[in-house]
A and B are shown apart, each in its own frame.
Chain A
């Protein structure tokens, strides 16, 4: 089946520094990837939709300059948390949408990465 690799799995950084998280689709091309964040005991919150070759679409309330998204190739999207602060500490998860087979695009599968635990100290 489809595999999405997310790296790093854990990162601890100092307040004020920037952190880059990578999301790769290993065996398929993903024109669209999604970035979520999740606080402890809470559900996943969609942050942005990443489209290959174009600007990301951010959800309401998500700071574009704070969370930089780049989708430079069909297999790689990156999320950079700029000038991180302790309140940015969270679990970040990416998802890649697999191309559907034939015309029935509802069969698109969404494969998730294993997540990145970011701790800002």
Chain B
């Protein structure tokens, strides 16, 4: 699976949009981009994933560049509870019985300030 690069930390004011970048310049055509977050001392929580189209759900939006070499996770109105470590992961889609393990990088520590 391709590796990802994320800034180690970011700050955001409460109520503002948090834009978390991720570089995955070696991504292959069959690899999806996943975002997870981990609040202190809890298991990771799924946020969103996508292949090449922009995606939106109740938690966030995912913007993937046309060349798929980078993406941005957007939390539209950050709250204090969004303070967490955010992980960008790429994973190959191999179909059928692929084990498809998730490999975590260092992630971005997002701190939301009042």
Chain B CB within 10 Å, residue with most, of A43, A57, A115: A43
Residue A32 CB within 8 A of the other chain: yes
Within 8 A of A (CB), among B15-65: 32, 38, 41-46, 49, 51
Q: Determine the distance from Cα of A91 to Cα of B107 in the docked complex, in whole angstroms.
A: 17
Given contacts A43-B105, A106-B51, A106-B93, whether A93 and B43 have CB atoms under 8 Å apart is yes
Instruction: Determine whether the beta carbon of B44 is less than 8 Å from that of A112.
Output: yes
Contact (Cβ within 8 A) B44 A43: no
Q: Is the CB of B93 within 8 A of A43?
A: no
Q: A6, A93, A105: which contacts B44 (Cβ < 8 A)? A: A93
Please give the number of chain A residues whose Cβ is less than 8 angstroms from any Cβ of chain B in the complex. Answer: 28
Contacts of A103 in B (CB 8 A): 95
Do A105 and B105 touch (CB < 8 A)?
Answer: no
Q: Is the CB of B101 within 8 A of A49?
A: yes
A111 at the binding interface (Cβ < 8 Å):
yes
Interface residues of A (CB under 8 A from B): 4, 6, 32, 34, 36, 43-46, 49, 51, 57, 91, 93, 95, 97, 103, 105-106, 108-115, 117
16 A-B residue pairs with CB within 8 Å: A34-B102, A43-B104, A43-B105, A45-B104, A46-B101, A46-B104, A51-B99, A95-B44, A105-B93, A105-B94, A105-B98, A106-B32, A106-B51, A106-B93, A108-B100, A112-B44
Give me the 4 closest cross-chain CB pairs, A-B, nearest first: A112-B43, A106-B93, A44-B104, A43-B104
